[in-house]
Amino acid sequence: MTRKLFGTDGVRGTANSYPMTAEMALKLGAAAGRHFRSDGSNGHRVVIGKDTRLSGYMIETALTAGLTSTGMNVLLLGPVPTPAVGFLTRSMRADLGIMISASHNAHQDNGIKFFGPDGFKLSDTDEAAIERIVAGEIALAQPANIGRAKRIDDAGGRYVEYAKTTLARGTQLNGLRIVLDCANGAAHRVAPQLLWELGADVIAIGTSPNGLNINLECGSTYPRACAAKVLETGADLGITLDGDADRVILIDERGQIADGDQIMALFARRWAEAGRLNDGVLVATVMSNLGLENFLTGHGLRMERTAVGDRYVVERMRQGGWNLGGEQSGHIVMSDYATTGDGMIAALQFLAAMVETGKPASMLARCFDPVPQMLKNLRYAPGVDLLSAVQVQAAIEDAKTRLLGRGRLLIRKSGTEPLVRVMAECEDEGLLSEIVNGIIAEMEAVA
């Protein structure tokens, strides 16, 4: 096997194309089963959740076959949010958790995310071990030791009950009208139920998945659908999730969007005031706005930056013993409550702030003025290395010189899609536009 399977968030690709084929899912399941059942004993178990993509049926079945072939017992959760898999892996004492999802991507993509018995995403070491097993001969279980599969019908309900415990006892959402966009994804049942049980008046959209409409003009990557509904219904808040509900973008009562940076700013300030923010540190990625960093500094707090990807945020949080982090895209990681980003639990914490302060969303969701930021993506064909072209490198070096002492430039390849992302920040919006568009133009000439 010549290509690396695992990216920044498990294995991901276009359904029915390498590596997202039934054959590879079977091998991955068998390899993961062998890795986590290395002692050869029976009784090992794995939980599998998924979102609503059509290809999820194929991948779920193939993974189950691979896992049971190596003696693992499989507990099928059905459509549940990614954070629910992390929670239920621990709760059900499983050796492994698997989420079948390509998160915010369109329906034609899918992915396989692995969680260890502690509910955290697998380490690079475990992923490398599984990949080595995939590349070799996989030892199968003896006939009497083949695993069993069982469907868990109340998995969503278990997650709902847990999510409610993250609020102070007695907290109610009575009187709050909330537009909830579930992106036709994994949370289309549990998220409306959760808010309804807490007393909210819920106006749910994006709750009619058909296998092909996940993230389609809805959810956190298309928040204007939720914003329009908030204004139409006079709602107090809009909550937009992505396809697997591990990220959230909020909409205030005026229809204004609050991204992950604004949400983290609010939580960091509130937690620091309550003495809950460990060491006064927030962990964010290189994509987070300079305005967030300036806001934290002004409140005597500190930002730790990581590479892009919520797994890197979580790793840094665990290394430093810090309990709050996330991404501008809406992954909010609160290790006091969850092992990964959790869109609904983050939304609940924001709602709790509204209830406790009596303030409208618009007063809570705009903690700082962001430094002007421009982000553009360019899709490239397989085998094309845009960043090595001489003219592209020259444009990048020129941009760095022009931004020196005035802003910053970040260029990176996506870990989940064939995209190059060009992001710059600068108070001079004219210069900002020149720099980003100039680099994109040079890349387009190469692509």
Convert the pLDDT of each residue in 162-192 to its tens digit.
999 999 999 999 999 999 999 999 999 999 9
Amino acid at 292: L
Residue 81's pLDDT is: 98
Per-residue pLDDT tens over the stretch 305-347: 999 889 899 999 999 999 999 999 999 999 999 999 999 999 9
Instruction: Give the active site residues.
Output: 103
Q: Do domains 11-153 and 156-370 have the same CATH topology?
A: yes
Q: Where does 156-370 sit in CATH, by number?
A: 3.40.120.10
Residue 40's pLDDT is: 66
Between CA 113 and CA 117 the distance in angstroms is: 13
The beta-carbon contacts of 432-439 under 8 Å, at least 24 apart in sequence, are 432/372, 432/373, 432/374, 432/407, 433/374, 435/399, 435/402, 435/403, 435/409, 436/374, 436/375, 436/376, 437/376, 438/395, 438/398, 438/399, 439/392, 439/395, 439/396, 439/399, 439/411
Instruction: Share the mean pLDDT of the chain.
Output: 95
Residue 3 has pLDDT above 60, yes or no: no
Which residues have CB under 8 Å from 124's CB, separation 6+? none
Q: What percent of the chain has pLDDT over 90?
A: 89
| Average pLDDT for 95-113 | 97
| Average pLDDT for 409-437 | 90
Residue 210 has pLDDT above 90, yes or no: yes
Residue 256's pLDDT is: 98
**What is 11-153's CATH superfamily?**
Alpha-D-Glucose-1,6-Bisphosphate, subunit A, domain 3 (3.40.120.10)
Between CA 120 and CA 318 the distance in angstroms is: 10
The 8-class DSSP code of residue 87 comes to H
Question: Which among 122, 51, 37 is positioned nearest to 86, based on CA atoms?
Answer: 122
pTM of structure? 0.91
| Average pLDDT for 263-271 | 98
φ and ψ at 300, to 5 degrees?
75, 20
Residue 446's pLDDT is: 84
Percent helix, strand and coil across the chain, each rounded to 5? 40, 20, 40
| Residue 296's pLDDT band (cuts 50, 70, 90) | very high
Residue 416 has pLDDT above 80, yes or no: no
Between CA 212 and CA 189 the distance in angstroms is: 17
How do the domains of the chain map onto residue ranges? Answer: 11-153, 156-370, 373-446
* 373-446 carries CATH number 3.40.1190.20: no
Residue 384's pLDDT is: 81
| Residue 2's pLDDT band (cuts 50, 70, 90) | very low
Q: What percent of the chain has pLDDT over 70?
A: 99
